[in-house]
Structure 1
Amino acid sequence: MNELHRELREGLKGLEEGINTKFDELQTKTTELERDLRDLYQKGGSSAPLPGGQQRVSSIREALTKSAGLARMQKEGSKNSDPIDLGLSIKALTSLQGSGGSPAEGIDVQPEREGGLFGYAMRPLTLFDVMPIRPISSNQLTFTRMSGYSNAAAGQGAEGTTKAEQTIDPGLITAPVETIAVWHDASKQVLDDEPGLESTIAMLLTHGVREKAERQIVNGAGSSFEMSGLITDGTAFVPTVAPMADRIGQCAATMGNSGYLANLVMLNPVDWFTIRSERATGGDEQYVGPGWAAPASPAVYGVPAVASAAVPQGTAIVIDTRFVNLLDRQQTTVELSRETGNNFKQNIVTVLAELRMGLAIYDTAAVQVIDLTSSV
């Protein structure tokens, strides 16, 4: 009997110690919860009375102390208590943006921010990748270009007669190096405070400079400070066929007949689509060319094609690139400075993007310009 009493006492003692341990753990968690909720109240919670006249308890610890369900769990060793009303209003846990009240109440949840600047499409710049580039160390390149050359070689005929004479009409050509640049001001504070803004502005200005340079390569004015363009210095080709693709093919064949190797055709993207989507006018109206699903590289009659918005719509340029060079005097650079005007005093930073380049067309017959819309 005494042995039974001893086992019962030890069992009850062990149960009591287990309950006390669980209660201590619950009290620790309760203290942490009370602290977190107090922080929420301070950030935006309302201290107004609860609906129906319900009063807030002074603390979560008090609510737990008065809980009958928690007391039964301690006495009876139950694993779970009944729900405990902490007297907290659900309004304290809503966001300010989702509040339906007037004025709105709740926690001001901060929005997620997407970095960068938007509103400008940086189109691919393709001409720099397909044109030969020649480094240059001055602000212009001069070279001699013949005009109207025709091979005059002929048989002598009878002995003692005068042999054929070749006529050469040379001219000194100057290809200027053009400076293309753009700048933008920003405060030093905003560049420091907005992550990535400096690099975004630099990228935007760099693309703007290179896009302008690409347009100058095609359409340059050819003044003393601006480069000549492929269209302004090229030779006009007059086709005798109507379809766009056939005009390009006829031009390439004519160049080949004169000794040139047409290895590049430049087109506006809209014209390139017109050529790819051309259909037969009879039969099942199948695609004339490879169509929209063709996996092959862009080409017209075997001549590699490059689509660029710098080329005016309705124009194609067929080139033998052996006689054309881009002159690279200074690749695109980006500089930041506070030394302009009152920049230093006003904490303003000037971001400048700049490049220097030119275009040398050694033989104008190697650049043929086609009007794709003219009548034949």
Structure 2
Amino acid sequence: MDMTEIKRALDETFGAIKDSQNKTAEEIRAELKALADKVAGQDVNLIDLGQKLAGLSENGRRATKTDTIGEYFVKSDQFKALQGSGSAGRARVTLEGEQLKAVAPIYESIDPNKYPVYSQRLQEIRGPGQNTVWIRDLLPGGTTSSNLIEYPQEKVAQLNADYQTEGALKAQSDLSFEMKQTPVVTIAHWLLASRQVLDDAPMLQSYINSRMVYGLRMKEDKELLAGDGAAGHIGGLITEAMPFAPTDPLYNAADNIRMMMAQVQSYFYQPTFAVMNPMDWATLQLSKDANGEYLFGSPLAPITQRLWNLDVAATYAMPLGNALVGDARQSMVWDRQSVTVEVSREDRDNFVKNMVTILVEERLALSVFAQPAFAYGLLAAPVIPLGTSTGKSSKSAA
């Protein structure tokens, strides 16, 4: 900036000051009044704006319907000025504090006293509780390439070893066998899922696969324990086991587990496991002596799940009030096809619907080589009500 420009700026500044000094008091009052009137008009507009933002009616009451941000903007003086003036380049409305509370969100009408807050979505899927005790884990396993397992089983045994006197025939014994058959069965289930969803959320497919496998294992476990052996079904351990009937009403669950062991041992098999319902096992753990002391450890030092040197598997697949004791070496789970997970777009009209079919299946068989190696029955003898006669006593009275 040269000296000429500096001089011009000083003249303009001091010239305005000199002009204001030459103005009369009346002229200055008139300019101040005009300025005050202009500010007062702006105050009215600001009050009106605040009431609109706060959702207040003319009577000072909160209106039930609130404007969205877009509705309020098009009603604002700033937007109207933009429409009416070709020189205005933009219109701006700022919402702050309590004013923001009174403006409804653009997507729906909500309580004007609440801020619209977006939810926080977690990516991790947390599934329900799952079973951790499996009957299959108690039994030995093998594989097969056939659809039928056959094995000989002793049917009749006459072991007549005896002394031999000179010139007489030696004692003769006899053994007979029969062929037992165990068919390989298929257990499976499937579901439909959106291909887009699985592509966009690979974790979801992993979760679905694991849940489907879990569902298959639950069915497998139930059948290995209690399958009815009908056509195409597994003959489970309970179905194949020798029945056990408790006779002494004074025996508790632990006593009758020992009696089941004795029944198995009477056929010269050695039990390796016991299966109980978790509620029955809990009842045993709560057993106390006459002094109120726990018989099976304590809440501070619980014992492992063992009875009479047997591992106890507590599973809800076992009916309440019953138990199974067995020699696992006299059974075998055969895998023809291990658990597999398949995903296909070629099932029915999946291709045109962008769907996929998730299939989980397995093929297996269960062989029980010796039924007396397993005992199944009640954990307590049935209680006969007083005054009720048994069939035997009624017959004697007759």
Question: TM-score if structure 1 supplies the norm length?
Answer: 0.70
Contact 2:343 2:359 in 1 (8 A): yes
Query: What letter matches 1:112 in structure 2?
Result: Q
* CA drift at 1:112: 1.5
| Structure 1 gaps, min length 5 | 1-47, 59-86
For 2:331 and 2:267, how far apart are their aligned partners in 1?
17
1-structure distance, mates of 2:292, 2:323:
26
Contact 2:245 2:381 in 1 (8 A): no
**Counterpart residue number, 2:138:** 130
Take 1:305 and 1:115, find their aligned partners in 2: how far apart are those partners?
38
The more displaced of 139-148 and 118-127 is 118-127
- 1:228 matched to 2:235? The reply is yes
Partner of 1:26: none
One of 219, 225, 245 as aligned partner of 1:218:
225
Summarize deviations over 1:203-236 as a string: whole Å, max 9, x none.
1111111100000001112123111110111111
- CA–CA distance in 1 between the matches of 2:201 and 2:373? 50
Query: For the aligned residues, what is the CA RMSD?
Result: 3.2
- Answer yes or no: is the 8 Å Cα contact 1:96–1:106 preserved in 2: no
Residue aligning to 1:344: 351
Shift of 1:254: 3.6
Structure 2 unmatched runs, 5+: 1-47, 54-75, 79-93, 384-398
- Which of 144, 164, 173 aligns to 1:166? It is 173
Q: Which residue of 2 aligns with 1:272?
A: 281
* Contact 2:192–2:357, Cα closer than 8 Å, also in 1: yes
Report how many aligned residue pairs link the two structures: 295
Q: Is the 8 A contact 1:93 1:106 kept in 2?
A: no
2:180 and 2:110 mapped to 1: Cα distance? 77
Q: Given that residues 265 and 318 in structure 1 are in contact (C-alpha distance below 8 angstroms), is that contact kept between their aligned partners in structure 2?
A: yes
CA distance in 1, matches of 2:139, 2:267: 22
Check the 8 A contact 1:96/1:109 in 2, yes or no. Answer: no
Aligned match of 1:5 = none
Q: In structure 2, do the counterparts of structure 1 residues 367 and 102 end up closer, same or farther at CA, with 3 Å as the change threshold?
A: closer
Supply the distance in 1 between the matched residues of 2:280 and 2:146 (Cα, whole angstroms): 38
Classify 1:125/1:52 alpha carbon distance in 2 versus 1 (closer, same or farther; 3 Å). Answer: closer
Aligned in 2, Cα 1:164/1:311: closer, same or farther, shift over 3 Å? farther
Residue 139 of structure 1 is matched in structure 2 by 147
TM-score for the superposition, normalised by structure 2: 0.66
- Matched AA of 1:250: M
Contact 1:50 1:89 in 2 (8 A): no
Aligned partners of 1:215 and 1:310 also within 8 Å: yes
**Using the alignment, how far apart are the partners of 1:320 and 1:167 within structure 2?**
26
**Structure 1's 255 and 204: CA in aligned 2 closer, same or farther, altered over 3 A?**
same
Q: Which residue of the partner structure matches residue 319 of structure 1?
A: 326
Identical residues among aligned pairs (%): 29
Distance in 2 between residues matched to 1:154 and 1:294, nearest whole Å: 53
Aligned residue number for residue 109 of structure 1: 117
Deviations 1:91-139 (A, max 9, x none): 4766979xxx966388743212234666753222422222111111111
Matched, 1:329 2:336: yes
* Aligned residues of 2:225 and 2:317 also touching (Cα < 8 A): yes
Distance 1:285 1:161, change over 3 A: farther
Match status 1:209 vs 2:216: yes
- After superposition, the C-alpha distances for 1:310-329 in whole angstroms (9 at most, x for unaligned) are 11112211111111111111
The amino acid across from 1:260 in the alignment is: Y
**Counterpart for residue 304 of structure 1:** 311
Once the two structures are overlaid, the 10-residue window that deviates more, 288-297 or 220-229, is 288-297
Partner of 1:37: none
How far does residue 51 in structure 1 lie from its aligned partner after superposition?
5.7
Measure, in 2, the Cα distance between the counterparts of 1:349 and 1:176: 31
Asked which structure has the greater CA Rg, the reply is 2
Tell me if 1:178 matches 2:185: yes
Are the counterparts in 1 of residues 332 and 366 from structure 2 also a CA contact under 8 Å?
yes
Taking a change above 3 Å as real, the CA distance of residues 166 and 291 of structure 1, as seen in their structure-2 partners, is farther
Relative to 1, partners in 2 of residues 1:162 and 1:194: Cα closer, same or farther, differing over 3 Å? same
